[in-house]
Chains A and B, each alone.
Chain A
Amino acid sequence: MSKHEMTTTDNATNRTYTADIATENATQHRVSLRPLVNITEAEDGFTLTAEMPGVPKDAVEVKVEDGLLTLAGDIKLPQVTGMKSTYAEVKTARYQRAFTLSRELDSTKIEASQADGVLSLHIPKAEHAKPRKIEVQVG
């Protein structure tokens, strides 16, 4: 009975969205790990480091869309044949986390690098947002 109820609710929800949003919704519902981050702000921009151990460099996804910075990646580890998991603290093989960017940041100039499972991003501030002195004109 409950299974039937769930299906109908799902259908009802999907109907109200456009196809695109429905797909995105499905992705968001996938269980993912939240990468731990450190974030610092300096005069010229933000530095963000995120831990994604097990994700090779070419599997790291960084995208900016409508002021939303999304970090994601799939853990890819060599499989051991016939292995049974007995204890797991890392329970899923996908990381995902998003951050809202403020307008002062220049998302077109984000620099990214990855080493030893740590993703480092530098998000510069737009030229107009950098601190500057304003000359007061005497008129």
Chain B
Amino acid sequence: MYGSLFNLTDGLFNHSAFPNKLFNELEQLQQQFGGRSIVSNIRPIARGTFPAINLGTTDSSVEVLVFVPGVAADSIQLQIDKNRLTIEGERQLKHNADDKKTTLYAQERFSGKFKRVITLPEDVDVNNVSASCQDGVLKISIQRHAEALPKRIAIH
């Protein structure tokens, strides 16, 4: 049943009313605006998971921001293996479901164990990492190897 549904869509897309050229252009546009290409890393970064992550780089370091509201810093484990950074921890939100006198109206916040793995640039120095946590944001700063820094080459 589902197979035929997919075939239908396929037929629609192969229809002569939609020339291939148009689709190529559409895909290009999609890549430009959404940045979602059909090609992705073998270790893609999962979206919409807890905790949210922002990444940035400077010439000398890689900066990682992990949004961990309500998580105590000592319950987070960080580990770097080559260029893979693992962030692991747990946040248990207490809600007493047995208590009949309270009613739960919204439960959007994540509760339980979490683990995220990020692939960092290959030139990171695993021995030179610092991390701090403030207002529910964990900031990890990983230095890059000096060889990776941009160098000015003198012409003799």
Contact = CB atoms under 8 A, between A and B. Distances in A.
Same complex:
yes
Interface of A: 36-43, 49, 51-57, 75, 77-78, 80-90, 115-118
A78 B103 CA distance: 39
Contacts of B12: none
A57 B104 CA distance: 26
A42 B99 CA distance: 9
A117 B54 contact: no
A36 to B, nearest CB: 4
Interface of B: 45, 47, 52-59, 61, 63, 65, 67-72, 93, 95, 101-110, 135-137, 139, 141
B54 A53 contact: no
Given A38-B107, A118-B136, A86 B57 contact: yes
A84 B93 contact: no
Contacts of B135: 53-57, 116-117
27 contacts: A36-B108, A37-B106, A39-B105, A40-B102, A41-B105, A49-B70, A51-B70, A53-B67, A53-B135, A53-B136, A53-B137, A54-B136, A77-B65, A80-B58, A80-B63, A83-B57, A84-B57, A85-B55, A86-B55, A87-B45, A87-B53, A87-B54, A87-B55, A89-B67, A90-B54, A116-B135, A118-B69
A57 B155 CA distance: 54
A49 B109 contact: yes
Nearest to A86: B55
B101 A43 contact: yes
